[in-house]
Amino acid sequence: MGEVIHVARPYHDLTTPFTIDENGAIAEYIINDPELMPQLAIGATILIKDKRKETTSTEDYSDFWYAGRIVGLKSVAPFNPERTTMLYREDTTMDPSVTLSDIRGPHTHQPMVIQVFLNRELSKLENNPGKYIESSIQRPPSGYSYLYFPEISQSPDSTSPTLADILNVPGEGLDLGMIGFGNKPYGWKGNSYLHYRWDIKNLDNKHVFIVGESGSGKTVLLKNIAYEIKKSDSSNRIILTDVQGDITQILFPDFVPRIIPKDWQPVFTDQQYIEAQKVFGKFRLIVPKTNDESIADVNEIKKLALKSGVDVKSISLRFQDLDLPSNAEYLFRTTSIQAAPLLDDLAEGLHANKEPASISRLLTALSRLLTKNPGSQITVPTSGVSYNRVTFEATRRILNDLQKYFDMDLEALSNDSNPLDAFDFNGTIILYLDHLSQDERFMWEMQLVSWLYQNKKKLKNTYVFFDEAHQIIPAERVAKSGGMGEIFNRLRSNFEKLAREGRKFRLNLILSTQNPQDLHPIVPEQCPTRIIMKINPKNAQYAFLEKELAYVANSFGHGQFWIQSPFNGTPDWIRVHSIAPPLPHTSMEKFRDELEKRANNKS
């Protein structure tokens, strides 16, 4: 606790007592000089020391503690008639010879009232004084109680629970950052920190949900989580979807600068930076093929990756690998509502003949039926359903348009294996999506979800990172728009099955988004660990963040976040200052400039 303990005293009376009701236990404390408690901040963890009567003896009291979180701070007028006597209560006797301006008192400043939400009671174990037993709140604090900030960890002269005792943070696990109250980590003045560790080895459900606006530090956090996962066990497999191109920077430590540590951040040596690249093991870069192969950035990235010893795979999606052709209905450029059912019927007929439902075979089937049936109505033999001739013509145009997205690799069409089998790789995979349109990204991520579910049994200890998850698992109101409800319902069903059953096989999902309001609630429901970075308070409700904490998150700096991880021992939101790992990272503007410069130098 240090030499001086600055405390806040109870702020209650007969008309405004401390309360315990269906909303929890709430108490208020007042400190005459807020400057004495500089760690005051919404969300800060506090300790309240109280006296509990053990027997009927009038003097038989013992110490016990309440742990809680600050949920409100307010200044009060020093001459407010309400509870005035409380304001003038002093910790020490005033010296009448001191000038009035030097006396600590309500006439020189505004006292601060601290509103706290009490989480639990803690009592010492008789046979182990250094350990504490927890229980739910059974009664409000008494007038004997006072509030202060706990020590970080046990010291020889500790007589009360520490921050480590209160938060139950595991001693081992992924190092996600330092626990903090305000804009600095807790204990920053003395360079003493409590690390927040995420114990993935002992977690049954490792799915994670991350929310953060652009510039919040989300990409650096994702890189650190991937780095820590691989560092904890080299046999872990990582799949990173790269929507904006900034994840791919990991592949180029020779020209992308490392993350520059600031303030309290650890400084890494050159050797540590070199060793960090080896943590990820072998790299594989998967780049979707497109009709536009002249994209300079993509070509330069592939060349530089090959030069760096990265295994580069350029693959194309096959139409025949879709569960149903109608899964691509959102790509159809037609007003015909019968085109999707017709394609599903034709695909069923091809499957019955043990033929793949590729675009070319579907076009052949369409042409054959159009030639054999000159009338206005054409019946599909396998299903017995009749369609208008104009539906057949519209469907043929749709298939020709879909060749912009599928079946660009002719060699893959004659291969029995799915091109997505390239994701079965012992190492770290980056799926580069920055050069694709939003429609193309959606299709790739949707097919990856399907492939992961089909292959979940052989993807032991795999961690899959999906950025901009709201694009692949959108909210209900988005799913119903434009007649796309059925497609998105199937996709959500695939995701739910993957989230529920995948964890049995230790296939884990890390999903992030900038727009939680556009994300289906099934995602946070399946992800018990939630991380909230800088976010607009209006969006915070969709991430299940309490109102008072949302306003704090709105002013977060780079890399700061709230985390809630019940199965990691932290069911309450904790403020963490993330660690910048020893990995390459720079702005995308500088990264693209460097790529362009290198491309021009070779031309």
Least confidently predicted of 16-25, 88-97, 158-167, 299-308: 88-97
Neighbours of 546 (CB within 10 A): 18
Quick check: 559 pLDDT over 80?
yes
pLDDT given at position 104: 54
Residue type, 485: G
pLDDT tens-digit map of 208-267: 999 999 889 999 999 999 999 999 999 999 999 999 899 999 999 999 998 887 777 888
pLDDT-above-70 percentage for the chain? 88
Reported as type and span, the H/E element at residue 451 is helix 438-454
Neighbours of 567 (CB within 10 A): 14
pLDDT given at position 437: 87
Token pair listed for 340? 């999707």
Quick check: 483 pLDDT over 50?
no
Block residue for tokens 């290198």: 598
pLDDT given at position 504: 83
pLDDT given at position 79: 60
Residue 239, Ramachandran bin (φ over 0: left; ψ between -120 and 50: alpha; else beta): beta
Confidence band (pLDDT; 50, 70, 90) for 75?
confident
Reported as type and span, the H/E element at residue 134 is strand 128-135
Confidence band (pLDDT; 50, 70, 90) for 603?
low
Quick check: 489 pLDDT over 90?
no
Could you tell me which residue, 293 or 157, shows the higher pLDDT?
A: 157
Token pair listed for 418? 């799915």
Least confidently predicted of 77-81, 188-192, 522-526: 77-81
Ordered structural domains, the chain, with CATH: 9-167 (no CATH), 199-318+416-600 (3.40.50.300), 323-406 (no CATH)
Block residue for tokens 């439902």: 357
Ranges assigned E (strand) in 297-342: 311-315
Distance of CA 430 to the CA centre of its chain: 18
Q: What average pLDDT is seen over the chain?
A: 85
Give yes or no for a contact between 348 and 362, defined as CB atoms under 8 angstroms apart: no
pLDDT given at position 139: 86
pLDDT given at position 28: 93
User: Mean pLDDT over residues 558-563, rounded?
Assistant: 94
pLDDT tens-digit map of 36-58: 888 889 999 999 999 876 655 55
pLDDT-above-90 percentage for the chain? 44
